[in-house]
Amino acid sequence: MSEVKSVLGGEVTAYLDFLKQNKNSSENTLQAYNRDLLKFVDFAVDNEIDSCEEIDVDAVRQYKDYLGVKGLTVASINRSLSALRSFLQYLLTENKIDSNPAKEVHNDKSEKKGPQVLTGGEIELLLSQPDTKEIKGLRDKAMLELIYATGIKVTELISLDVDDINFSIQFLKVAGQGKERFIPLYKLAVKAIQDYIEKSRRLLITSSDEKALFVNISGERMTRQGFWKILKSYAAGAGIKKDITPHTLRHSFAAHLLENGADIREIQEILGHSDISSTQRYAQFLKEKIKTSYIRFHPRA
57/273 Cα distance (integer angstroms): 37
Is the residue at 55 inside a domain? yes
Convert the pLDDT of each residue in 4-50 to its tens digit.
566 788 899 999 999 999 888 889 889 999 999 999 988 888 877 87
Q: Are residues 38 and 155 in the same domain?
A: no
Q: Are residues 173 and 93 in the same domain?
A: no
Is the residue at 300 inside a domain? no
Full-model pTM: 0.60
Q: Are residues 157 and 186 in the same domain?
A: yes
Whether residue 298 has pLDDT greater than 50:
no
Give the pLDDT of residue 187.
93
Q: Are residues 243 and 134 in the same domain?
A: yes
Whether residue 213 has pLDDT greater than 90:
yes
Convert the pLDDT of each residue in 241-260 to its tens digit.
888 888 889 888 888 888 88
Q: Are residues 83 and 126 in the same domain?
A: no
| Out of 73-82, 122-131, 227-236, 257-266, least confident range | 257-266
- The residues, any chain, with a CB within 8 Å of residue 83's CB and separated by 6 or more, are 32, 33, 36, 37
- Which of residues 107 and 274 earns the better pLDDT score? 107
Q: Are residues 276 and 146 in the same domain?
A: yes
| Helix H or strand E encompassing 108 | none
**Roughly what angle, to the nearest 10 degrees, separates helices 135-150 and 224-237?**
100
Residue that terminates a domain, selected from 71, 104, 137: 104
User: How many CB atoms sit inside 10 A of residue 243's CB?
Assistant: 9
Going by the DSSP 8-state scheme, the letter that residue 197 receives in this structure is I
Q: How many domains does the chain have?
A: 2
Is the residue at 115 inside a domain? no
204/162 Cα distance (integer angstroms): 14
Whether residue 290 has pLDDT greater than 90:
no
Amino acid of residue 36: D
The parent domain of residue 181 ranges over 120-295
Q: Are residues 76 and 161 in the same domain?
A: no
Q: Are residues 94 and 58 in the same domain?
A: yes
Whether residue 112 has pLDDT greater than 80:
no
Residue that terminates a domain, selected from 104, 134, 160: 104
Query: pLDDT grade, residue 1 (50/70/90)?
Result: very low
Average of per-residue pLDDT across 222-249: 91
* CATH value at residue 171: 1.10.443.10
Q: Name the E strands within the chain.
A: 165-166, 171-176, 179-184
Q: Are residues 240 and 148 in the same domain?
A: yes
